[in-house]
Structure 1
Amino acid sequence: MCGRYGRRGDKQKIAEQFNVSGELPDMAFPVADYNIAPSTDQPIIRQNRETGERELVMARWGLIPFFTKSAADIKNLRTINARADKVESSPSWREPMKKRRCLVPASWIYEWPEAGKPPKQPYRMEMSNGNTFAIAGLWDAWKDDTGRWIQSFAMVTTEANELMAQIHSRIPVMLHARDYDRWLDRGETERLPVDLLRPYEAEAMEMHEANPMVGKPSNNGPDMIANPGASLATFPVRSSVG
Structure 2
Amino acid sequence: MCGRYYRRSDKQRIAEAFKVGKLPPGFELPPDYNIAPSTFQPVIRTDRESGERELIMMRWGLVPAKMADPDEFKIFSTTNARAESILDKPIWRGPFTHTRCLIPLDGFYEWLQRPSLPQPSPIEPGEHGLFGDIQAKPKQSSKPKAGSRPVYKFEMPDGAPYALAGLFSEWRPRKGSSHPPLDTFSIVTTGANEITDPIHDRMPVILHPRDYDRWLNDYHESRPPIDLLRPYESDGMRMTPANRLVGNVRSNGPEMLNSA
Give a deviation string over 1:97-131, Cα, whole Å, max 9, x none. 01100000010100012234323111111111111
TM-score, reference length from structure 2: 0.83
**Structure 2 counterparts to residues 82-93 of structure 1, below 5 A:** 82-93=81-92
Give a deviation string over 1:65-97, Cα, whole Å, max 9, x none. 112222342236511110001111212111100
In structure 2, give the amino acid aligned to 1:164: T
Q: Secondary structure at the match of 1:219?
A: coil
Give a deviation string over 1:34-93, Cα, whole Å, max 9, x none. 111111111011111122221111100111111222234223651111000111121211
Match of 1:102 in 2: 101
Runs of 4+ off more than 4 Å: none
* CA–CA distance in structure 2, aligned partners of residues 186 and 196 of structure 1: 12
**Is this contact kept in 2: 1:100–1:139, CA < 8 A?**
yes
**Is this contact kept in 2: 1:100–1:186, CA < 8 A?**
no
In structure 2, give the amino acid aligned to 1:132: P
Q: Give ranges in structure 2 of 5+ residues lacking alignment.
A: 116-142
**Is this contact kept in 1: 2:5–2:107, CA < 8 A?**
yes
Q: Which structure would you say has the larger Rg?
A: 2
Q: How many angstroms does 1:147 deviate by? A: 4.8
TM-score, reference length from structure 1: 0.89
Q: Secondary structure at the match of 2:154?
A: strand
Q: CA RMSD in A?
A: 1.6
Residue from 202, 215, 235 that aligns with 1:203: 235
Give a deviation string over 1:1-59, Cα, whole Å, max 9, x none. 211000122222211211111343744220x2111111111101111112222111110
Match of 2:33 in 1: 34
**Is this contact kept in 1: 2:61–2:78, CA < 8 A?**
yes
In structure 1, give the amino acid aligned to 2:14: I
Sequence identity (%): 48
Residues paired across the two proteins, number: 227
Please, which moves more after superposition, 214-223 or 182-191? Answer: 182-191
Q: Give ranges in structure 1 of 5+ residues lacking alignment.
A: 229-242
Highest relative contact order (Cα 8 Å, sep 6+), 1 or 2?
2
* CA–CA distance in structure 2, aligned partners of residues 49 and 211 of structure 1: 40
Q: How many angstroms does 1:162 deviate by? A: 0.1
* CA–CA distance in structure 1, aligned partners of residues 78 and 85 of structure 2: 12
**Structure 2 counterparts to residues 1-242 of structure 1, below 5 A:** 1-24=1-24, 26-30=26-30, 32-75=31-74, 77-116=76-115, 117-118=143-144, 119-144=148-173, 145-185=177-217, 187-228=219-260
